[in-house]
């Protein structure tokens, strides 16, 4: 604005241009502010609901506040008994919401790790090489995002039960159906497309000649991976891992069907609470549900910006 002042008095069209720029700036910031508001408002609503009591129309802001939803979820002791000892006793019993949070985090972490181990070689092949039937392979990898989960999970559940019975007959007491292991395996189905898609985009922009160079300088395959490949694809790995975690984190139907209702992750609690329409309890669970996701996004945000090499799809698709 400072350099606009001298020209403004002499050049009308330039002044119009500057006014236009200012207006554009205002619109730009308004748009940003509006977008932030749209993103933040629902979260603010969660905060209000989580602590509001008897929040009925026409109250704009709740008149009464209460921790009853937190009490109902056994996260804090009832009023009048909120001593440190009671808090510790309550949490030592591990409230359902806490064990569900822990289970969701564990499954998410394991699924993320495995999906990257499987997805990395596949993505490298798809990103770097052209081969017969590549299109078909790409299509096969995306299919889980197209086919609704209900279509394959009911059948998968029956097969898991069959395998469990066969394993039990063979003297191996491994349960896939109704177990955390089975749920983690089935989460891989919707997770893999995101991981492979993200990582093959990274490899499409990756120059494998660097590896040849390192090899010519005498580096072994392990050294090449950790000193050359890994640093180059790290941002992409981060984003792929983030997708993997968030997709696993938000699974309801697959967890329910394969977990047979016994593997109680956070979405399981959230869905069953949503049926009751107790907004306070739903809001508390929702806050617990979004907190890790928001934290991870904040940590990973620098890898998510537009100029990062992390996001690129299959490359030339």
Partner 1 sequence: MQTMKRMAGVLAVAAATAFGTHAVADDLPGFGSWDEVVEQAHGQTVFWYMWGGSDNINGFVDNFYGKPLMEEYGITLERVPLADTVDAVNQVISEQEAGATGDKGTIDLIWINGENFFTLRQADLLYGPWAEGVPNSALVDWANPAINLDFGRPVEGYESPWSSAQFHFVYDSARLNEGDLPRSYAELGDWIAANPGRFSYIAPGPGAFVGTRFVKQLFFEVSGGHAQWVGPFNEELYNKWAPEVWKMLIAWKPNLWREGETYPASNAELRDLFANGEVEFDFTQSPSGPASNIESGLVPPTSRAFAFDANLIGDFNYVAIPFNAPNKAAALVTANLILRPDRQAAQVQPANGFCCGWAIDVARVSDAGQQAAVAEAMQNLGDAAADPARLAAALVADIAAEYQSRIEADWQAHVLRGEPLPN
Q: What does the binding site for partner 1 look like in residue numbers (CB under 8 A)?
A: 53-54, 56-58, 64, 66, 68, 72-73, 154, 157-159, 161-162, 165, 168, 177-178, 256, 260-262, 264, 268-269, 271-278, 280-281
- Of 160 and 203, the one with the shorter C-beta distance to partner 1 is 160
CA distance 262 to 119: 29
- Compute the least distance from the CB of residue 295 to partner 1, in Å: 26
Q: Which of 95, 65, 93 is nearest to 79 (CA)?
A: 65
- Compute the least distance from the CB of residue 286 to partner 1, in Å: 14
The answer to whether 237 touches 160, Cβ cutoff 8 Å, is: no
Helices 230-249 + 279-300 axis angle, to 10: 170
CA distance 137 to 199: 15
By CB atoms closer than 10 A (0-12, 13-18, 19+), residue 3 is exposed
CA distance 195 to 112: 9
- Compute the least distance from the CB of residue 272 to partner 1, in Å: 4
- Compute the least distance from the CB of residue 110 to partner 1, in Å: 23
For residue 197, how far is the Cα from the chain centroid? 15
- Of 57 and 131, the one with the shorter C-beta distance to partner 1 is 57
- Of 16 and 64, the one with the shorter C-beta distance to partner 1 is 64
Pairing mode of beta strands 64-65, 52-53: antiparallel
Other beta carbons within 10 Å of 31? 10
- Compute the least distance from the CB of residue 41 to partner 1, in Å: 20
- Of 10 and 276, the one with the shorter C-beta distance to partner 1 is 276
Q: Which of 213, 231, 211, 235 is nearest to 221 (CA)?
A: 211
By CB atoms closer than 10 A (0-12, 13-18, 19+), residue 230 is exposed
Long-range contacts of 116-122 (CB under 8 A, 24+ apart): 116/195, 116/199, 116/237, 116/240, 116/241, 116/244, 118/188, 118/192, 118/195, 119/192, 119/195, 119/196, 119/199, 119/240, 120/199, 120/237, 122/196, 122/200
- Compute the least distance from the CB of residue 80 to partner 1, in Å: 17
- Of 135 and 262, the one with the shorter C-beta distance to partner 1 is 262
- Of 6 and 277, the one with the shorter C-beta distance to partner 1 is 277
The answer to whether 309 touches 235, Cβ cutoff 8 Å, is: yes
- Compute the least distance from the CB of residue 267 to partner 1, in Å: 10
- Of 245 and 256, the one with the shorter C-beta distance to partner 1 is 256
- Compute the least distance from the CB of residue 66 to partner 1, in Å: 7
- Of 65 and 230, the one with the shorter C-beta distance to partner 1 is 65
């Amino acid at each position: 604005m400072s350099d606009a002042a001298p020209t403004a008095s002499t050049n009308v069209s330039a002044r119009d241009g500057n006014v236009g720029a200012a207006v554009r700036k205002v619109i730009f910031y308004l748009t940003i502010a509006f977008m932030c508001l749209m993103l933040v408002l629902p979260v603010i609503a969660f905060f209000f609901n989580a602590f509001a009591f008897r929040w009925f129309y026409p109250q704009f802001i709740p008149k009464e506040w209460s921790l009853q939803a937190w009490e109902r979820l056994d996260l804090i002791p009832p009023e009048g008994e909120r001593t440190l000892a009671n808090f510790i006793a309550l949490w030592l019993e591990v409230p359902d919401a806490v064990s569900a949070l822990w289970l969701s985090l564990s499954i998410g972490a394991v699924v993320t790790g495995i999906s990257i181990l499987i997805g990395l070689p596949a993505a490298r092949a798809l990103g770097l090489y052209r081969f017969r039937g590549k299109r078909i392979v790409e299509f096969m990898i995306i299919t889980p995002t197209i086919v609704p989960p209900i279509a394959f999970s009911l059948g998968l559940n029956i097969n898991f039960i069959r395998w469990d019975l066969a394993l039990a007959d063979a003297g191996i007491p491994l349960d896939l159906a109704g177990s955390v292991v089975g749920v983690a395996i089935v989460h891989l189905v919707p997770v893999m497309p995101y991981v492979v898609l993200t990582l093959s985009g990274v490899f499409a922009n990756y120059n494998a000649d660097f590896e040849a160079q390192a090899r010519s300088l005498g580096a072994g395959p392990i050294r090449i991976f950790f000193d050359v490949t890994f640093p180059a694809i790290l941002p992409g790995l981060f984003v792929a891992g983030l997708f993997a975690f968030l997709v696993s984190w938000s699974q309801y139907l697959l967890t329910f069907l394969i977990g047979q209702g016994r593997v109680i992750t956070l979405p399981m609690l959230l869905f069953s609470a949503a049926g009751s329409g107790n907004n306070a309890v739903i809001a508390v669970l929702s806050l617990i549900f979004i907190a890790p996701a928001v934290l991870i996004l904040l940590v990973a945000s620098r890898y998510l910006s537009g100029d990062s090499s992390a996001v690129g799809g299959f490359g030339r698709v």
